[in-house]
Structure 1
């Protein structure tokens, strides 16, 4: 918006020549983060969102007027610079597509805000999954529309890393649209930041309330009823990160962290679906919403009777293979739970091997050794992926019903894990170093504080207020 005057001045007078940090301290980004962290406003967020939608419509319609399908059909014979790919519709091949997904995935970051607001929903069991699906679908359509707009009005190899839409419209002879894009970019960044601050503050509050992190972060303001301490701390930390780190590096880091988190969600789906559940007692229905739980209670009592009759004997070696494919019970027992969970954890290793194999054979310039090692890893991983998925499929699943359940378990969770890992392995070494720099202190907090103070270990029937 300022013609890069701010960034150029900071690069000249305040350079930061430190590996892993940005070229200069971004005081503008840090200031915006701090302002937004203390001005949490639904009206402001909704206003910016409406402006974003209007700008997106203008960009898409205008770009379609100037669109040229030839920009998708660059003749490979006319491409002489190796840095701009090989031409055609996929100039960078499969490797480029997988690398690009990491950046494109950042366009979906933010829909987890819906889940963080589940405590404020009227019917979260139904509304949250539906809202997430609608939000992700809308983000997919918008991201696709912007990609179409950008690549149809300018050849891919001329698209700059900084202000690509503004540059594209200037090159297309529509410089006045540049100002519309600038306003939309500012509103988009601001609304995204507001959504992120809202989401992370609620997550931090919930974790503190559960005892996983420090208790003072769960304090609620007496007037606004907002978690002001978590808002303050997350705002300051986010501002420091925005001040010191490069934007593209943070995008890589965010994508890796979220993709690994989604892997853990997929694992959790498998673990919950194949585990034994028993709830000693449940309260009687006292409202219309709780009446819906009566079928759940009946199923729970059936599980209790089943678990009281089963034996918790270990699996004998001679019976192991038989139980893997021919379980003896229709409901999960100790043995089926061990087998299903063991297959689930082994799948993470197998999927990692398979992902590394795909990474090796899709490098920009793979050698014969890369093809040989990668091919062996792909075949090995694919075979055991199918075998372990089949073992999981044969195990009895928990029959308790809830409002929203993932279909086709374990196929969908396993494929989700595999796709996430395929994308993650394309991240560079510096991104992984940054990830571990952030995750190791978090693990220390959890193992030395969270595990001892967690309220999750309290009995389900115990009133936490006592």
Structure 2
């Protein structure tokens, strides 16, 4: 009886693991979608710029410059921008591969597996929900400041104050209705709302040019040499500022989210990503430089940095221009979050991991109306009751985890052999010609295998199926990076100023650095597969590995309470996945056929079979059969 119970338990565990690791099977026509493909490259670029340039440039710059980095805020934005660019490169490659809504969720689903895809998707929903709520509160707070605090005082006088941990001091009804109003706008159709977004984004860019131009005209370079110099808070201040400034770049993944509504996603998404990241990075650096050159960082007012800086030079009318820019910027950021959130829910519901009602698309407007309404209501409720300052860091952990897994997925997919039913077939500009079929097959079969001159490595690490060793090395590299930055974060003084009793920490740190470098070297000696991509990340695995390291470093610097809240949020998600998503997943329909195939292969020993010319796709968007 005990043996039967053990066999049943083993079978249950095996079945569960199989379901958690199954990968998304894409249809033959990757461009087919119930949504409307109407967004041009310019529309998507404006969406990305608008989502990133909002409250951050008018609020974040003053706070970081005054309290964290001083004039070196320029370097903080530069470091945060570079970390985001590394992740953006990986998003751009996947955006050209998979023209579907869902961003990092879909990318993870087709490369790593269903469970990790759900984890990323669940965190992306949190990112956009809190992002929308925080910007709605900032929008409300800015309007309240312009009216002299009339709104906040009236609310506090009517409803009193809330004093409970995560709750805000007073409910914010203006933020609540702003969220609902923008959701109402989104239901009219994606093209019309994109015109609205593009107009306000252009207004915001015009204000940034105004601030930068007049700021440099009134610049006093002694503000960068006196008052403690350019780096009054030291290098640690620059890094702390970079971790905070990273929030300003959260939003470029909304570009990838639009993949199912772009006319030519394999071209538009990479181009929009690079243009928007360049414009936003330049804008943040110019505004922060102009601010710290106009006013000594010690005199910056964190709550109204730019208006007060201009007022100190007698340009009081600039307050009106800056206010217009701030409201326009926060409007586009709010729109970006409320654009991305329902499309993330829609993508997960369409795959069966969330409730099917969220996958319904209105035939007239070609947008998921129910999903937009529910997402808008939840975002509005968060904006109404919660203290956004405590939730913003909570949002960052999900974003950083998504960036990390997307970067890892780029490496894994580049070194994966053959193109199977659940793999992503690269989009090509023309079908594979008959004359090149043999070369194409050879390229697919060699991917993930050691290069001929490195076959001797097998005598050291052993022989593995193609692609297994690179994927394992990615995992080891990520864990090693987490350990390295944890040691530097919590044992930094012992590392920088060691004594006789702490030499083991130095040895451990040296060992971990060596392990990370060795794993990268082992990945690099394998053959890649990147044929047919209209855009691909350069210098793989170096660029994605740097992205992984940068994101892990920022995660380690987060508050421990953030990890506790993250655990609670993920617990809710796991309940939904194991109780509903795993059983209702679309991939569940193919489990029986795949199981039969796997059993057949296990009996005949054909796990390592290679492709032949007949396995090639007849069109560039079809899926090959194993």
Query: Normalised by the size of structure 2, how large is the TM-score?
Result: 0.62
CA distance in 2, matches of 1:51, 1:336: 52
Q: Does 1:322 align with 2:457?
A: yes
- 2:430 pairs with one of 286, 291, 306: 291
Q: What are the residue-to-residue correspondences of 1:272-311 with 2, within 5 Å? A: 272-279=413-420, 291-294=430-433, 301-302=441-442
CA distance in 2, matches of 1:299, 1:402: 16
Q: Does 1:44 align with 2:196?
A: yes
Residues 291/320 of structure 1: CA separation in 2 closer, same or farther (3 Å cut):
closer
CA distance in 2, matches of 1:290, 1:25: 53
Match of 1:356 in 2: 486
CA distance in 1, matches of 2:555, 2:266: 30
Match of 2:467 in 1: 337
Q: Does 1:6 align with 2:151?
A: yes
1:327 to partner: Cα distance = 8.8
- 2:520 pairs with one of 379, 389, 393: 389
Farther-moved stretch of structure 1 (268-277 vs 3-12): 3-12
Match of 1:331 in 2: none
SS at match of 1:67: coil
1:73 to partner: Cα distance = 2.0
Q: In the TM superposition, what whole-angstrom CA distance separates every residue of 1:175-199 from its partner, at most 9, and x where no partner exists?
A: 2111211111111111111111111
Say which structure, 1 or 2, has more relative contact order (CA 8 Å, 6+ apart): 2
Q: In the TM superposition, what whole-angstrom CA distance separates every residue of 1:8-46 from its partner, at most 9, and x where no partner exists?
A: 554565322122333322222222111101112223212
Segments of structure 1 that go 5 or more residues without pairing to the other structure are 76-86, 283-287, 311-318, 329-333
1:54 to partner: Cα distance = 1.5
Segments of structure 2 that go 5 or more residues without pairing to the other structure are 1-145, 187-192, 595-616
Farther-moved stretch of structure 1 (390-399 vs 374-383): 374-383
Are 1:95 and 1:362, in contact at CA under 8 Å, matched by a contact in 2?
Answer: no
Residues 133/272 of structure 1: CA separation in 2 closer, same or farther (3 Å cut):
same
Match of 2:550 in 1: 419
Are 2:417 and 2:466, in contact at CA under 8 Å, matched by a contact in 1?
Answer: no
Are 1:60 and 1:146, in contact at CA under 8 Å, matched by a contact in 2?
Answer: yes
Residues 217/389 of structure 1: CA separation in 2 closer, same or farther (3 Å cut):
same
Q: What are the residue-to-residue correspondences of 1:250-261 with 2, within 5 Å? A: 250-261=391-402
Are 2:443 and 2:529, in contact at CA under 8 Å, matched by a contact in 1?
Answer: no
1:290 to partner: Cα distance = 6.5
Are 1:323 and 1:336, in contact at CA under 8 Å, matched by a contact in 2?
Answer: no
Match of 2:205 in 1: 53
Match of 2:32 in 1: none
SS at match of 1:38: helix
CA distance in 1, matches of 2:462, 2:161: 64
1:263 to partner: Cα distance = 0.2
1:152 to partner: Cα distance = 1.4
CA distance in 2, matches of 1:354, 1:4: 47
Are 2:417 and 2:444, in contact at CA under 8 Å, matched by a contact in 1?
Answer: no
Query: Normalised by the size of structure 1, how large is the TM-score?
Result: 0.82
Match of 1:229 in 2: 370
Q: How many pairs does the alignment contain? A: 431
Are 2:417 and 2:446, in contact at CA under 8 Å, matched by a contact in 1?
Answer: no
1:97 to partner: Cα distance = 1.9
Match of 2:567 in 1: 436
Match of 1:216 in 2: 357
CA distance in 1, matches of 2:460, 2:530: 19
Are 1:347 and 1:385, in contact at CA under 8 Å, matched by a contact in 2?
Answer: yes
Q: In the TM superposition, what whole-angstrom CA distance separates every residue of 1:156-180 from its partner, at most 9, and x where no partner exists?
A: 2332332322232233332211121
Are 2:415 and 2:470, in contact at CA under 8 Å, matched by a contact in 1?
Answer: yes
Residues 263/321 of structure 1: CA separation in 2 closer, same or farther (3 Å cut):
farther
Match of 1:33 in 2: 179
Residues 428/292 of structure 1: CA separation in 2 closer, same or farther (3 Å cut):
same
CA distance in 1, matches of 2:502, 2:551: 22
Q: Does 1:21 align with 2:152?
A: no
1:429 to partner: Cα distance = 2.4
Are 2:530 and 2:536, in contact at CA under 8 Å, matched by a contact in 1?
Answer: no
Residues 281/244 of structure 1: CA separation in 2 closer, same or farther (3 Å cut):
closer
CA distance in 1, matches of 2:479, 2:238: 24
Match of 1:90 in 2: 231
Match of 1:157 in 2: 298
Are 1:208 and 1:217, in contact at CA under 8 Å, matched by a contact in 2?
Answer: yes
1:321 to partner: Cα distance = 8.6
SS at match of 1:18: coil
Are 1:107 and 1:139, in contact at CA under 8 Å, matched by a contact in 2?
Answer: no
Are 1:26 and 1:243, in contact at CA under 8 Å, matched by a contact in 2?
Answer: yes
SS at match of 2:229: coil
Farther-moved stretch of structure 1 (288-297 vs 110-119): 288-297
Are 1:278 and 1:303, in contact at CA under 8 Å, matched by a contact in 2?
Answer: no
Are 2:417 and 2:445, in contact at CA under 8 Å, matched by a contact in 1?
Answer: no
1:128 to partner: Cα distance = 1.0
Q: Does 1:70 align with 2:222?
A: yes
Q: Does 1:171 align with 2:308?
A: no
- 1:452 pairs with one of 580, 583, 595: 583
